[in-house]
Structure 1
């Protein structure tokens, strides 16, 4: 043929396998997850393949024919979806700071120790501390319930509740003071100072103002840091804790004032007081159990207080890991096993942290870990709204151990681990039964 001869191209009698294979390789990552050829057809339309291109380039009569060929040619691949963010990821610094803040008030007793008589004022401080602990637990729960309605409502609850709690703790603490009016007045003053601080600090902790509380306690920290090298004298020994108290009260007043300035919520419903009762009873039981341990090993109580920061971190980790276990489980039984494993992991991690502290403080390898296990598991159940079982079991343990200690009955000091052990086991079983279901984590 010369240059003027026309070349006649015969129509293709079938698909162009090479062109189809090239297209399949190009779109494999998007064709693989498809579950039906129609999804591939939608993809081809989105790529702008017209009917003429499909016929001329790939040799298929229509879009759906090419889509079916590509669907059959590319193996099915179902990539895992991207990991969802952990809704319970803890703030590690904040959790550790809270543990430190729980223990920092002990520096006030260290600074002021030469200024007061332990035999006269210790019972007053103990009663005020126990009452404040119980009241603070109940008030904290009620404030969180009110936070659902709004910040103004929560701040109003905290204002009235904290002042009332400080007054109740001071009034009850004066009862064991006895003696002449001067002794009663001194006891009331000491109890009032402690109760006011605990009330104000509780408000700041509930409202997540830990850094403000740390700043308010800076005079106390500075004074305690000077003690190994310098005797500050009675004025500074009394003045620095008082300055820290005034700073804490001022910061608390400022935070509450800002919260009360927020517009009121439309829903003004108030939860019943009885909803917070089991939390207060648990606080009372926990205070008694810790007090019984502190009578023999005060440094063990300080270690337990510091461990509350990691304990709170592990509570968040339990919730986050439980959500991950729920996503990875296909059956309720599978989730139950995973949930029990998560509980065992978190509880073991906490006990591994507490056990060395028990050995170093002379409390032994049993008592402090059992007490810590009971308290941590109770707090875990409370975090899920299960309040009465922890309150009932811990109250029973506190009543038993307290009666044995008060009446000097056998087995003596060994009653505390004997009381806390069954409570820890019972609460762990309760946690597995109630939290081993998907619904609390959904």
Structure 2
């Protein structure tokens, strides 16, 4: 480490000491800069310009005030310029293999884990009653989606700054806070004790699965959920073998196991309080992501909510299954896109070549994801018997929504969350307006076609927004 510090001092990097309130020296900016280089070294070595490094710093949660306090530079871009000068460039072989089978398999498995709660519903509805359970489970899923998005984002910020123990403490604390929030849902909808347990456990699964996937504990999550998957499939094939109550009990045990695995994963002793390490800007930056998770969940659960309001069969709600299962493929293809962009940046310094290739690369991975989602949709139509017009409309709508989610994930990874939120609000407004006008007989549409229209608007808007953004080099780490 001392050699690293000397390396920075020789290049004029500020080395003023940092103190606690008691006057004890914590560390110098030079030592912190050495740690930062070790963490962001691969990014700096293949960066085309300083803006690319600045984007990486911002993606890891660094802002101007933090850079000044920790490293002695006035803003993020000054620090990025210094890193660009300090770290020597290293070319990346143009033919480097980027399709890592193990990583792809792990990411594809995430779709299965995201879809597992849907396997719980048939037994739960048979035990509690579909009308009573639907609203509670919808609300807990929406809350779980949004809350998990926020807690994982904050954990990433802490991990990116080298505070892994603090990130684990934060996740552990937010797990229990999330359970407390879930307990408030059943009283609001006048649910019974059984519904309280189901709502809280679904919230627990959302948070636990997010934590285990963050720390690459897919095998732990698989082991915990296997009993639930087995009993759920058995209930679908032969509901009288275990019965609804026993099947639901097995599922509850699986969720508790996954929650316990997440609790073990977050064990650790932190040197600092994560609440003090995180700054106000970190919380403000997390709120748009939580809102995005909230709106995404609302869009996905519009269909089951409408069936709950009208007390009609929810069979067409199965059309969302391909979309949920494809989320792992979305993560996989997004990583492929970013890695292909890294290879492109490493192989050329010509901005014209970069601009000509970026849209082609993006559209090719979008098409790959779309093909996966299409195959899953066709399989669902055959094996789930989704052959009525309503279900087929929802399959097409969710296909468009999946394409929109891919673009949205890409934009959020480039810190364009506000543009995604605008697209989501626009799409929901179009859907609600079209549906309202159709109820009044002013438009020849119904709820299903209105939903299809909203999904189409969402995807087209994001594509128009994304294509110019993709050409900005600073978006790639």
Deviation, 1:209, is 1.5
Q: Is the Cα contact below 8 Å between 1:278 and 1:387 reproduced in 2?
A: yes
* Alignment match of 1:166 (pick from 164, 172, 179): 179
Deviation digits for residues 107-139 of structure 1 (CA, Å, limit 9, x no counterpart): 222333421111112111111111211121122
Counterpart of 2:345?
326
Counterparts of 1:226 and 1:235, CA distance in 2: 13
Counterpart of 1:335?
354
TM-score normalized by the length of structure 2: 0.68
Counterpart of 2:142?
130
In the alignment, structure 1 residue 398 sits paired with structure 2 residue 444: no
Counterparts of 1:86 and 1:431, CA distance in 2: 27
In the alignment, structure 1 residue 282 sits paired with structure 2 residue 292: yes
| Alpha-carbon spacing, 1:207–1:119, altered in 2? closer, same or farther (3 Å) | same
What RMSD, in angstroms, separates the aligned Cα atoms of the two structures? 2.8
Counterpart of 1:94?
106
Deviation, 1:204, is 1.5
Counterpart of 2:412?
382
SS at 1:156 equivalent: helix
Query: Which stretch shifts more, 382-391 or 122-131?
Result: 382-391
In the alignment, structure 1 residue 415 sits paired with structure 2 residue 450: yes
Counterpart of 1:155?
168
Counterpart of 1:307?
326
How many residue pairs were aligned? 356
Deviation, 1:302, is 1.0
Counterparts of 2:408 and 2:262, CA distance in 1: 29
Counterparts of 2:427 and 2:215, CA distance in 1: 31
Counterparts of 1:195 and 1:436, CA distance in 2: 39
Counterpart of 2:195?
187
| Alpha-carbon spacing, 1:393–1:93, altered in 2? closer, same or farther (3 Å) | same
Deviation, 1:164, is 1.8
Q: Is the Cα contact below 8 Å between 2:303 and 2:317 reproduced in 1?
A: yes
| Alpha-carbon spacing, 1:202–1:403, altered in 2? closer, same or farther (3 Å) | farther
| Alpha-carbon spacing, 1:86–1:395, altered in 2? closer, same or farther (3 Å) | farther
Counterparts of 2:95 and 2:217, CA distance in 1: 29
Deviation, 1:332, is 1.9
In the alignment, structure 1 residue 363 sits paired with structure 2 residue 392: yes
* Alignment match of 1:239 (pick from 227, 249, 258): 249
| Alpha-carbon spacing, 1:390–1:82, altered in 2? closer, same or farther (3 Å) | closer
Query: Which stretch shifts more, 318-327 or 282-291?
Result: 318-327
Query: Which stretch shifts more, 397-406 or 324-333?
Result: 397-406
Counterparts of 1:81 and 1:203, CA distance in 2: 32
* Alignment match of 1:372 (pick from 397, 402, 405): 402
Counterparts of 2:295 and 2:398, CA distance in 1: 16
Deviation, 1:95, is 0.7
Q: Is the Cα contact below 8 Å between 2:432 and 2:450 reproduced in 1?
A: no
Q: Is the Cα contact below 8 Å between 2:226 and 2:254 reproduced in 1?
A: yes
Counterpart of 1:49?
none
- Structure 2 gap ranges (5+): 1-90, 308-313
Q: Is the Cα contact below 8 Å between 2:224 and 2:257 reproduced in 1?
A: yes
Q: Is the Cα contact below 8 Å between 1:140 and 1:206 reproduced in 2?
A: yes
In the alignment, structure 1 residue 431 sits paired with structure 2 residue 475: no
Counterpart of 1:441?
476
Counterparts of 1:331 and 1:134, CA distance in 2: 41
Q: Is the Cα contact below 8 Å between 2:169 and 2:270 reproduced in 1?
A: no
Q: Which has the larger radius of gyration?
A: 1
Counterparts of 1:423 and 1:86, CA distance in 2: 34
Q: Is the Cα contact below 8 Å between 2:175 and 2:207 reproduced in 1?
A: yes
In the alignment, structure 1 residue 254 sits paired with structure 2 residue 258: no
SS at 1:208 equivalent: coil
Counterparts of 1:396 and 1:126, CA distance in 2: 22
Deviation, 1:197, is 2.1
| Alpha-carbon spacing, 1:81–1:385, altered in 2? closer, same or farther (3 Å) | closer
Counterpart of 1:145?
157
